[in-house]
Amino acid sequence: MGYKVAVVGATGNVGREMLNILAERQFPADEVVALASRRSLGTEVSYGDETLKTKDLDQFDFTGFDMALFAIGSDATKTYAPKAAAAGCVVIDNSSLYRYDPDVPLVVPEVNPEAVDGYAKKNIIANPNCSTAQMVVALKPLHDRAGIKRVVVSTYQSVSGSGKDGIDELWNQTKGVYVPGQEVEPSVYPKQIAFNVIPHIDVFLDDGSTKEEWKMVAETKKIVDPSIKVTATCVRVPVFVGHAESINIETEDFLDDDEARDILREAPGLMVVDKREDGGYVTPVECVGDFATFISRIRQDSTIDNGLNFWCVSDNLRKGAALNAVQIAETLGVRMLKKG
């Protein structure tokens, strides 16, 4: 007997990817329903070889469903997630609404699978921010070996992190640069994104950081270890899909780059591509559609006693969102629900 699963927000980029990954990974589902807002009612979405017609989220009864994968943003989640949870359906939420709630586990299955066990307090599990998810997969095995004291990370985040509107703005602005009269003014972003980089993701906070940067700090502490100090600079770049991160860590114990490379090669969810030659590293366009988080450019930081630098790349629609949600569902099934 398999699971009954609802995908909420099935017509969006992340919702469609959730359906793709459920099918690709052969998740043991007896029934999968695609839910969306009333304006998208009846829209067809793919689930493996099947085509599903979306149903109206507002009218849907979650009773009898085991899990609901939410990809609809915080405002709508605030309305519908408690309804699903109250009906006995475990919500796996991709928004930021519940990430910092002490009664809601924030889970990356390669890092803290045991946290899933705490889902029952609210019947909700949170998916972390896309930039955090790929980073902590790499941090955890190094932290277990050498004890990470401090992380300095700069991100290079693709426009798909802003949804379809971000993708459209990059596409249209890029065309507009070359076609007189078709120039496109910024609307999704505060400045032109085509042929540019913008050191600003989410709103500014009082201390000068942005909320995206704050998320990476708070979520790393919740998922990996509250004692780790994190400072982040988050940058939007003109790439359609795939987030990249330049990560510097300082550890308690010495760890040379060869041992770090071996540790990361053995760690779940990671793939090391690190040749010290032209092209011996992974870039965002090469990671699109892949489940793995890729690590390259591993090297010592000679400016501190116990320091390492490395480059981290992942498909943000997969590990940063949809894949991690499905992995949470798999972990929840194995550890707690035990069906399928």
Residue 200 annotated among the catalytic residues of the structure: no
Coil/strand/helix, residue 248? strand
Residue type present at position 2: G
Is the distance from CB of 287 to CB of 269 less than 8 angstroms? no
Q: What angle do CA 18, 20, 22 make, to 5 degrees?
A: 65
Q: Which two tokens stand for residue 268?
A: 């779940």
> Most distant CA pair in the chain: distance in Å?
60
How far is 102 from 336, CA to CA, in rounded Å?
20
Catalytic one of 89, 130, 234, 312: 130
Catalytic one of 89, 143, 243, 287: 243
Q: Which residues contact 40 (CB under 8 A, 6 or more apart)?
A: 11, 54
CA proximity to 142, closest of 318, 15, 309 = 309
Q: What angle do CA 233, 235, 240 make, to 5 degrees?
A: 150
Q: Which two tokens stand for residue 166?
A: 């971000």
Residue 89 annotated among the catalytic residues of the structure: no
Active-site amino acid positions: 130, 243
